[in-house]
Amino acid sequence: MANGIGAPATATPVKEVTTASFRADVLTASQQKPVLVDFWAPWCGPCKQLGPALEKAARDSGGKVALVKMNIDEHPQIAGQLGIQSIPAVIAFDRGQPVDGFVGALPESQIRGFVERLAGPLKGGAAERLAEAEEAAAKGDAAGAASIYAEILAENPEDAKAIGGLARLHVAAGNVAEAKALLATAPAPAPGKEPDPAIAAALAAVSLAEQASSVGELAPLEAAVAANPDDHQARFDLAVALSAKGDRDAAADALLEIIRRDRKWNEEAARKQLLQLFEAWGLMDPASVAARRKLSAIWF
């Protein structure tokens, strides 16, 4: 997998349980921790689809659950006693009793949810992978970050943080239309609630990119500001262009200079634009932190 999370080549094979070993390997073993029994057969295509995701979820529990397999063609008795009529079927045993289960090749997100009900949060879950994607993006590995976001969205198309993160990557690559199309798939916030911060940040980034496309090149704007330091519109446009070029500190400083000179200019447009930059960059981005400090010094 592109995010580096997956089964190592040397992963221990899942133990095959027989009718004779079922008591020891499942009932007795489940006194120590939950045991998942994967009922399968060699001819069952969906069983082959389920297996890798189930094994990965069990590994990601960090040893909090065990996973075994039982071939119902060779050992039909236990499946019959449990009322299993179709496969794949997974039954969880805890303290010697069946406590949960499902039938069919579920999506990986649902499989992980099933295991998490028994074991708590798993390693390699969406939160961990989102952190990996953000780290990759911060290091300039846009392709790696995009791959992780895409994997998360393949499992859960409404993951707002993955939608927002991938949309911001599209904006950074100049693909504003793709970013807007992706953001259109984001789930609507609950009534009275604000959008997820990741969605809000991506929307702000889209807005800034669209603004930047209309303000022109840096050199004429810099010349206009040099010729007339009180040309607030030129300085404002310069800030937008600087932000689009990735020069966050300079963009913030340009807006702060407008606020120093005339904080009420154009209905406080500079302050509002600065807040939009903070939202697009992230409130804890170093440029946001530094600019907020300077803004406080001006304001108070």
What is the pTM for the complete model shown? 0.57
Residue 12: predicted pLDDT? 57
30-57 pLDDT tens trace: 999 999 999 999 999 999 999 998 998 8
Give the model's confidence band at 126: pLDDT under 50 very low, under 70 low, under 90 confident, else very high.
low
Of 10-14, 158-162, 219-223, the poorest mean pLDDT is in 10-14
The two three-digit tokens of residue 251, written as one number: 């963009």
Residue 125: predicted pLDDT? 65
Q: 3-state SS of 109-130? A: HHHHHHHHHHHCCCCCCHHHHH
83-96 pLDDT tens trace: 888 999 999 999 99
SS3 state at 102: strand
Radius of gyration of the chain (CA): 27
Domain(s) of CATH 1.25.40.10: residues in the chain: 126-188, 216-299
Q: What is the DSSP letter of 280?
A: H
Catalytic (active site) residue 47: yes
**Fold (CATH) for 126-188:** 1.25.40
Please give the CATH number for the structural domain made up of 15-119.
Answer: 3.40.30.10
Between 252 and 7, whose confidence is greater? 252
Pick the CATH number of 216-299 from 1.10.540.10, 3.40.50.11540, 1.25.40.10, 2.60.34.30: 1.25.40.10
Using CB atoms within 10 Å of the CB of residue 30, give its burial: 0 to 12 exposed, 13 to 18 middle, 19+ buried: buried
Residue 186: predicted pLDDT? 92
Residue 134: predicted pLDDT? 87
The answer to whether the CB of 117 falls within 8 A of the CB of 65 is: no
Domain(s) of CATH 3.40.30.10: residues in the chain: 15-119
Q: Which residues contact 296 (CB under 8 A, 6 or more apart)?
A: none
Give the model's confidence band at 130: pLDDT under 50 very low, under 70 low, under 90 confident, else very high.
confident
Q: What is the DSSP letter of 24?
A: I
The two three-digit tokens of residue 195, written as one number: 């959008």
Residue 115: predicted pLDDT? 87
Cα dihedral across residues 157, 163, 166, 171: positive or negative: positive
Give the model's confidence band at 10: pLDDT under 50 very low, under 70 low, under 90 confident, else very high.
very low
Determine how many CB atoms are found less than 10 A away from the CB of residue 217: 9
Q: What is the dihedral of CA 190, 154, 279, 128, to 10 degrees?
A: 100
d(CA 266, CA 275): 15
Residue 2: predicted pLDDT? 36
**Residue 11 pLDDT > 60:** no
Which residue among 17, 35, 36, 47 is the active-site one?
47
Catalytic (active site) residue 44: yes
Cα dihedral across residues 22, 24, 30, 36: positive or negative: negative
Residue 124: predicted pLDDT? 64
d(CA 90, CA 136): 36
Which residue among 26, 44, 163, 221 is the active-site one?
44
Average pLDDT over residues 128-135: 83
